Structure 1
Amino acid sequence: MPARVPSWAWVSGLTVGAIAAVTVLAAQAEQGPQPTAAATKPRPSASAPADARPEPKKTAPAPVPDGSGTGRRVVYSVGQDRVWLVDASDATRRSFAVWPGTVDPDPGKYSVGTRRQDPTTGSDGVRVEQIMYFTQEDGVWVAFSNAVDGSSPPPAAAGARTGGIRLPKADGDALWEFGTSGTTVTVVA
């Protein structure tokens, strides 16, 4: 009569097999195709709640737009609602989607001026931090910032003129570290 295998051995064997299968599937998923960002600005749908704002899409890094210059810089694409952090060797260190304000800066080269790390209330009533001003457009200051609680901004009130370009919290942290005073900000269409 063959020896009986204890139940703990069966359970251990099945657990090891399941962990191996999940590991293989995760590795395959990471190597597969990744979604790409749409070139159009997302708009809330008619069926979305009034206070809902679409989340920036997490996608494979988009290439830095042509005509954005060379060297260490922050690149902001008005048309793509996206920011790139580009190092001195022209390598992209990070790229992420953003929520724009209602006032877009004109294409051109600017530099980070005033920086404010302490929280304050933004023009939309949300507590924001890590504010980096880089230009003024028709009397409205344009700046990068992130909500203290990491939330997306509420939809702008009709006729509101806001220049805040809101970032997700982790991206706001990365931009704050990268965009010291004087850092070039290149705005492209």
Structure 2
Amino acid sequence: MPARVPSWAWVSGLTVGAIAAVTVLAAQAAQGPHPVASARPGPTASGSASPSPTPKASPPAAVPDGSGTGRRIVYSLGQKRVWLIDASDAARRTFTVWPGTVSPAPGTYEVGTRTEATTGSDGVQVEHIVYFALRDGISVAFSNAVDGSSPPPPAAGSTTGGIRLKKPDGTATWDFATPGTPITVVD
């Protein structure tokens, strides 16, 4: 009578064989052709073969004409928007802002003093304060709330010169707005 092979030996042998087969197939697959994504839209979740509309990002707002040349910050009063422009006249960042109740007159200014953090005239803790103008005795500056919040509506009759930015925009402006950086304010 032939010797009987224990079941654990059969299972071990089959497992080793399966691992070897998978390893060989994986190596062959890695060297073979790879699928390429098709440019054709596939069926939608409803099973339809028609393409679904793709949301398009709106183009970035164009830098206002007559805003100067070279490395500068441009602030549009009407658009409530700021552009950070590099030395090659390319807009590196643009974003909307919440202006205070006192706006600088259109013209060219430059970054004066900068303050890392303080309490704004609205009582909110602000940081990255970049001063650049004075209007009717009120300092005008870019800043962002430390907690990232949008500013509360100004109290009736209050005068605030803070131009509030979202926190990431405030950090980018702080990094960009070294003392002496030109700031062009346009309508």
Provide TM-score, normalisation by structure 2: 0.71
**Rounded Cα–Cα distance in structure 1 between residues aligned with 2:159 and 2:113:** 20
Matches within 5 A, 1:61-76: 61-76=60-75
- Aligned pair count reads 139
Shift of 1:32: 3.9
Letter in structure 1 aligned against 2:80: D
User: Residue in 2 aligned with 1:93?
Assistant: 92
Distance in structure 2 (CA, Å) of the matches to 1:68 and 1:138: 24
Q: CA deviation at 1:61?
A: 1.8
CA distance in 2, matches of 1:68, 1:85: 12
Distance 1:154 1:101 in 2: 11
For 2:170, the equivalent position in structure 1 comes to 172
Q: Distance in 1 between matches of 2:186 and 2:173?
A: 18
Letter of the aligned partner of 1:73 in structure 2? Answer: R
2:120: which partner in 1? 122
Unaligned segments of structure 2, at least 5 residues: 1-41, 45-50
* Letter paired with 2:77: V
C-alpha distance in structure 2 between counterparts of 1:61 and 1:84, whole Å: 10
2:57 corresponds to which residue? 34
**Rg larger in 1 or in 2?**
2
Does residue 1:82 correspond to 2:81, yes or no?
Answer: yes
Runs of 4+ in structure 1 deviating by more than 6 angstroms, as ranges, are none
- Give RMSD over aligned pairs: 2.0
What is the correspondence of 1:10-159 to structure 2 with a 5 Å cutoff?
A: 32-35=55-58, 60-117=59-116, 119-159=117-157
Instruction: Normalising by structure 1, report the TM-score.
Output: 0.70
Cα distance, 1:120 vs structure 2? 1.1
Superposition deviation, residue 142 in structure 1: 0.2
Aligned counterparts, 1:2-13, within 5 A: none
Specify every segment of 5 or more residues in structure 1 that has no aligned partner in the other structure, as ranges: 1-23, 36-59
Identity of aligned residues (%): 67
Deviation of 1:125 after TM superposition, in Å, equals 0.5
